[in-house]
Structure 1
Amino acid sequence: MQNILGKILLYSGFIVIVIGILLSIIMASNRAITTDYGIEYVQVDGGFIISLFIGHIVIGLILIGLSEIIKLLQELVNKQNEKDEEIVVEESDIHTNEQSPNSVSNLARAEIMQYYAAKGIQIEEVYLTNKEDIYSVMYGDKQDLVELGGFSPRIIKQQ
C-alpha cells in the first residue's frame, strides 16, 4: 500500500527545487528597464541569489526526506500487517493454566479483562500460548488470540 501524503511531499520537494533553480537563474540575469531617462540595468545582489538558491534546495530536500520517512513508516506498517496474517497458534501451543508452570500474570489478565469489558464481553479464561505476548482468550464458544505487546490489547485472530 502506498501513502499519498508521502508522494505529495516527494513531488512538492522536487517542484520547490526546480522553482528555486529557475528563480535564481532569472534573478541572476541582468534586467533592462526602460524609463524616461533611457535604459537602466538593474542587477540583484549575488548574496540574495545564492541564499534564494540554497534556501529552495534545503526546503526541497527536507520535503523529500519527510516523504522518505513516511515511506519507511508505511513499509513497517505493511510488514506488521503481514506478520499478523502469518501468526498461527495450534491447539497444542495453548497452555491451560493447570499445564503451564508460568501462568498468566495478574497484570496481563486484568488488562485483557478490562479490554473485553469495555466491549461488553465477559471472558471466561485467559491462556498462555507459545508465542511471546500472545494470549488465547475464551468467552462463550469463541476463542480470540490477543496481543499485549503494544499500548493496548489487540485482537489478532478471532476463531
Structure 2
Amino acid sequence: MNPRANALGIVIRNTQILVEEQWGKHSQGTGTYYRPIGGTIEFGEYSQDTIVREFLEEIGAKIKVKQYLKCIENIFSIDENIGHEITQVYAVQYIDPDLYEVEQFQVTEQDKITIAKWISISEFINGEKFLYPNGLTELLTLINLESGE
C-alpha cells in the first residue's frame, strides 16, 4: 500500500481552530477525534487547490490560502493496520468574514455527514481532545507561541 497524499486547511478564530468532529478508532483508542477540513490530493492537482476544493465541497465555504505551514508525515497503526499519510498543511482564511461567526458547519463527504466546529487550541495542546494527524498539535503550539496568544 502506498502513502496517502492529502492537504489540510487551518482556519483560526481567536484562540480556536475549525475542525471536523469524527468518531471511531484512532491511534489513541476508540472515541471522538478531530481533524481540520481537507482531503486527498487528486492526481494532477496542486495541494493548495485541494484545500480550496475541499472547503467548497465539504462545507460550502470559499477560502483563500494564506500561507504554506508544513508537511507532516504521519505513520500510524489502528488495529494492527499501518497507515501512512503525507499531509500538506496550509493556513487559510474565509473570503466571507461572516463565516467566522458560524458556530458549526455540516460537513458532507460522499454519503457521510459530520460537523465541523470551533475548538480551543489549548484543548488539543493540553491533551483534552485528540487532533490528527500526529504532529499537528505541535505545529499549533508553534503558531500560538509566534502569535503571542
Question: What range is the shorter-chain TM-score in?
Answer: under 0.3
Greater RCO (Cα-Cα under 8 Å, separation 6 or more) = 2
TM-score (norm 2): 0.25
- Answer with 1 or 2: which has the greater Rg: 1
TM-score (norm 1): 0.24
Q: Which has the higher helix share?
A: 1
